[in-house]
Amino acid sequence: MKIGYGFYAHMLNDREFAFARQAGATHAVVHLVDYTHGGDQDSEGKKNNQPVGNQQGWGRAGVDPEVWEVDSLRRLKRRLTDAGLELFAIENFDPADWYDVLLGGPRRADQIERLKRIIRNVGRAGIPVFGYNFSIAGVASRQSGAFARGGAESVGMNGVDERPIPNGMVWNMVYDAEAAPGELSPASEAELWDRVEVFLQELLPVAEEAGVILAAHPDDPPVERVRRQPRLVWRPDRYDRLLDLFPSKSNGLEFCLGTLAEMPGHDLLETLKHFLERDALAYVHFRNVRGTAPSYVETFIDDGDIDMLAVMRLLKAYDYQGVLIPDHTPQMTCDAPWHAGMAYALGYMHALNTCVEAES
Ligand SMILES: [Mn+2]
């Protein structure tokens, strides 16, 4: 099993690389978009908390288009390699690059070409996976609080955010600060599926040729509608629907155990087994939660509803070869809340891995 670490954009530095390597990570998943840029969490310290739903969005999109150029991607890969980490995946497009793909707007054709160029660059840089989250509202309805063991700061959900999304904003980021006042009109679920079909139909052939897997994250939190917009993957069978649209080795899943466990009415281990049988997992967000949407909290890795040892056994049984990353964890009360939480999760993952390896 490959254990990796997820780096947010502000963490792409030698100090963070050393931390990940010291905690035993061998692989890297990288976010290139600084989600909170120019927003109210845009300061050191605050950035280490996951952003939660905010009426005005996390930050401004489209700040640094250079990060998607092939030279820049190759440079990043080399820096990680030098630090002992293999760059396995990039997670999430910049909303500035695909807002009209998500919204079915007038610039969609141009933006599809831009996304194709990005995927070609990712392939040329030798990065095998690109994680995406086809979502209009993005992460919404989450709240922070002392929800985890011992009063650790965590995030959770208690009810659905019904506020409309202002014009110029998508996926929790502002792509047009000059947009006319007003609100995004609600889309239907059928419209959203038409849009993802266009996206996959255009991008998958390019991804196949580039040797890149497009890996879909489910909607977090998984509820039918948030902020008056439909969700794509809010039940496990929606993952099947997405895979069935275009069977392809490049049509894969960013399998978020936490988000899947937040979905009511299914057995997570059976769901995992089903998608392992479909050979659809590109990589795994290995985290735990308690409860289901619309009322759940994120927990420490050993303190939620998911039997993580059983998950690890199942991954091993299917000879899963991808990467597991902690995704997010509660913050621990100390001078380095985020890193302590991450070190705890990574240590636990290594121990589970050692257990299942010893069993075989
Ligand atoms: Mn996730």
Query: Which tens digits make up the pLDDT trace of 51-67?
Result: 665 667 888 999 999 99
Determine phi and psi for 284, rounding to 5 degrees.
-125, 130
CATH code for the domain in which residue 229 is found: 3.20.20.150
Query: Which tens digits make up the pLDDT trace of 279-337?
Result: 999 999 999 999 999 999 999 999 999 999 999 999 999 999 999 999 999 999 999 99
Residue 26 domain boundaries: 2-359
Ligand 1 centroid to Cα of residue 285, in Å, is 5
Number of neighbours of residue 188 by Cβ within 10 angstroms: 10
Q: For the chain, what is the domain count? A: 1
Ligand 1 centroid to Cα of residue 12, in Å, is 19
Ligand 1 centroid to Cα of residue 180, in Å, is 33
Helix (H) or strand (E) segment spanning residue 359: helix 337-359
Write the CA distances from 143 to 221, 286, 306, 351, integer angstroms: 11, 21, 21, 31
Tokens 């993802």 sit on residue: 196
Ligand 1 centroid to Cα of residue 330, in Å, is 14
Q: What is the 3-state secondary structure (H, E, C) of 70-123?
A: HHHHHHHHHHHHHCCCEEEEEECCCHHHHHHHHHCCCCHHHHHHHHHHHHHHHH
Tokens of residue 280, six digits: 């659809």
Q: What is the pTM of this model?
A: 0.96
Query: Which tens digits make up the pLDDT trace of 147-191?
Result: 999 999 999 998 898 999 999 999 999 999 999 999 999 999 999
Ligand 1 centroid to Cα of residue 79, in Å, is 25
Tokens of residue 234, six digits: 């809010």
From CA 125, how far away is CA 59, in angstroms rounded? 28
Residue 30's SS3 state is: strand
